[in-house]
Amino acid sequence: MRRTRAGSTGRFWSRVVQLAFLACLLLLWFLATTEWGVNQLLLPNPIAVWDQLLDVVMSGEFVSDLILTLEELAAAFAIAISLGVTLGYLISRSPYLIKVFEPLFAGIYAIPIILFLPLYVLVLGLGPASKVALGATIGFFPIVLNTIAGFGTVDQTLQKAARSMGANGIQMFRYVLFPAALPVMLAGLRIGFTVALLSVIGSETLASLAGLGHRIVNLAESMEMARTFAYIVFVVAIVAVLNTVVSRLEARGRWR
């Protein structure tokens, strides 16, 4: 009882400190633009940014870019999941394949795959296809690696117990292998989602025709700094919501 109370007050105070820290940053930002004379072209006034943000949201101007970015993300993530989970499961069935492919995938995942963006653009063009392909490529690796790890490390005793009780192949998958692998696999899906999101928005800022990343770069290049910042805040908020949803979904599948 005492421990829970200490725990919840501790959590309360760390929330307060976190909020105070963000408030201080905001205050510093405000003072920098009003008192310390930082060039508004480099750092616009936060109140101006707020006004622009309201305008962006009210006008609905963001809708087409947001939809495009989300569509690219959804397509990239769907491809990464289908390939990653299927291949990961098949590889996990053989110790030999694990030995061959696990280090290979881990090695490729360690290089910055964004380097290949120019090639993707060359082949697939400036449109959404190159963003989807890059996002799918980058999202694939954590998903396939965690699927291999999840299915490859199911406790032998559990499998033996199920076998001794007469589980057939389908039952073994449904009641033992899948639930055992699920938490690790979901962690891979969460990471895959995050990196796919990063690479979709990132590649939009580098070479694209539309999308939220494209919009931000366009505004910055036309020196509309307050609106640029407003869009950045907007994207941060969208990403925070998406990540929270994905983390919640992951937590629901956890059993440990």
> Interface residues with other proteins (CB under 8 A)?
155, 157-158, 160-168, 171, 175-176, 179-180, 182, 255-256
Specify the residue, 15 or 163, whose C-beta has the smaller distance to other proteins. 163
Specify the residue, 162 or 220, whose C-beta has the smaller distance to other proteins. 162
Helix (H) or strand (E) holding 135, with range, is: helix 128-152
Shortest distance, CB of residue 186 to other proteins, whole angstroms?
13
Interatomic CA distance for residues 250 and 160, integer angstroms: 28
Shortest distance, CB of residue 189 to other proteins, whole angstroms?
17
Specify the residue, 1 or 170, whose C-beta has the smaller distance to other proteins. 170
Specify the residue, 37 or 169, whose C-beta has the smaller distance to other proteins. 169
* Size of the chain in residues: 256
Q: Evaluate whether 196 touches 136 at the Cβ level (below 8 Å).
A: yes
Interatomic CA distance for residues 91 and 154, integer angstroms: 14
Which residue, among 73, 89, 67, 68, has the nearest Cα to 136 in the 3D structure?
Answer: 73
Helices 128-152 & 63-92, crossing angle to 10 degrees? 30
- Quick one: DSSP state of residue 159? H
Specify the residue, 109 or 178, whose C-beta has the smaller distance to other proteins. 178
- Quick one: DSSP state of residue 175? I
Cα separations in angstroms, 58 against 45, 46, 54, 63, 241 = 20, 18, 6, 11, 19
Cα separations in angstroms, 152 against 59, 71, 94 = 51, 33, 8
Specify the residue, 114 or 167, whose C-beta has the smaller distance to other proteins. 167
